[in-house]
Structure 1
Amino acid sequence: MAIKLPSNVHVSTHPCLRAKLSQLRSSSTNAADTKRLVHEISTIVSCEALAHGFTTEQVGSDVSPLGYEFTVEDISPSHISLVPILRSGLSMLDAVQSLLPAPVTVHHLGMYRDKSTLQAVEYYNNLPPYRTADDTGGMDLAIIVDPIIATGSTVCAAIDTLKDWGVPRIICLAVLASEEGLKRAAELWPKGVEIWVAGMDAETDEKGMIKPGLGDIGDRLYLTMGK
């Protein structure tokens, strides 16, 4: 039976993603291949999400090498920030940046999940001072990147932080999520938040880890397992 998810949740059905996720799940996949697979999966998910989340607008004209005039298009919205969740969100950053036609601001949020309560604890935030909604220097769109949405506590805390800061639209990109975590994050702010993931597992274990999942992706990326 098909699982009914909130309308602002999008789980990819791309066959290449399914194959790459199987490779990433394996305990025999080393750190170099883990980094490569996260990058490749993030690229595909980002293509799907940004095709849905962006439009284009005419911004002028230019001349081709043959001397023909053509209309120049750019993406809309134009005021975009990338928000990687430290530390594993950094592994997705290059993939998203490579798709955007111009550099955008990157604001880092540092969060960890308390082992006893499974709640997110923020330890770093480099968002600039609050801007009012009519300030043209503010964000029209924030793109949160974090490979795993397990219980949903971390992505919910990140969404709350950005909404409190005044961001009107948020796109969350992830490699893998649990059904529970997706529903929790999607229902927190049903309007103005879209969540795009490469794959979904049904549940988490008593430690809040996705089953069968990917393990602790940050530890796998940075060889800090067993700490």
Structure 2
Amino acid sequence: MATHFPDSVHISTHPCLRAKLSQLRSSSTNAADTKRLVHEIATLIACEALEDTLATIETGTDESPLGYQYTTQDITPSHISLIPILRSGLSMLDAVQSLLPSPVSVHHLGMYRDKGTLSAVEYYNNLPQHRTEEGAGRMDLAIIVDPIIATGSTVCAAIETLRDWGAPRILCLAVLATEGGLRRAADVWPEGVELWVGGVDPETDERGMIKPGLGDIGDRLFLTVGK
């Protein structure tokens, strides 16, 4: 029976993404290939999410190399910020940046999951001290990138932090999630958040790890397995 999620939850059905996710699951996939696959999956997810979220506006005219005039275009909203969750969120950053037509601000959030309570603990916050309507500090769209949504504690904490700071709209991009983690994240701020993920597994184990999942993706990316 198909699992039904809120309208704010989007799960990719792209065949290439599905195949790459299957490769990423393998315990035999080395760190270099893990990094490459996360980047490629993040690119596919971001393409789908940004197509649905952004719009095109005309900005003026320019001239082609042959001397023909054409109408220039850009995206709206233009004030976008990327919010990678340290440390594994860094692996998705380049993929999203490469799709956007202009550089955007990057504000890191450092969070880890307490092994006893499975709750998120924030240890670093690089959001601007003050939110402004124009110029530095303006954020019309915040894009959270983190490969895994397991219990949902971390992404929920990130959403709450950005909502309380004043972000009017949030996209959350993840490679893999659980059903429960997605529902929990979708319930935090239904009117302000859209979640885009590459795949969904049913549940976590007693350690809060996704089954069958991807293992500890941060450890796999940074060669710290068994630390």
- TM-score, structure 2 as length reference: 0.98
| 1:33-86 alpha-carbon deviations (Å, 9 max, x no partner) | 000000000000000000001001111110111111111110000000000000
Query: Aligned to 2:185, what secondary structure does the other structure show?
Result: helix
Residue in structure 1 matched with residue 198 of structure 2 by the alignment: 198
Residue in structure 2 matched with residue 110 of structure 1 by the alignment: 110
Distance in 2 (CA, whole Å) between partners of 1:19 and 1:174 is 16
| 1:176-224 alpha-carbon deviations (Å, 9 max, x no partner) | 0000000000011101110000000011111111100000000000111
Distance in 2 (CA, whole Å) between partners of 1:214 and 1:198 is 12
- Superposed counterparts of 1:1-227, under 5 Å: 1-131=1-131, 134-135=133-134, 137=136, 138-227=138-227
Distance in 2 (CA, whole Å) between partners of 1:65 and 1:165 is 45
**What RMSD over aligned residues (CA atoms) do the two structures have, in Å?**
0.9
% identical equivalent positions: 76
Q: Which runs of 5+ in 2 are unaligned?
A: none
Distance in 1 (CA, whole Å) between partners of 2:213 and 2:90 is 19
User: Partner amino acid for 2:131?
Assistant: R
Query: Aligned to 2:13, what secondary structure does the other structure show?
Result: coil
CA shift, 1:130, in A, is: 2.5
Distance in 1 (CA, whole Å) between partners of 2:197 and 2:226 is 28
Moved over 2 A (4+): 134-137
**Alignment coverage as a number of residue pairs:** 226
Contact preservation (8 Å) 1:130, 1:166: no
CA shift, 1:159, in A, is: 0.5
Distance in 2 (CA, whole Å) between partners of 1:11 and 1:92 is 17
- TM-score, structure 1 as length reference: 0.98
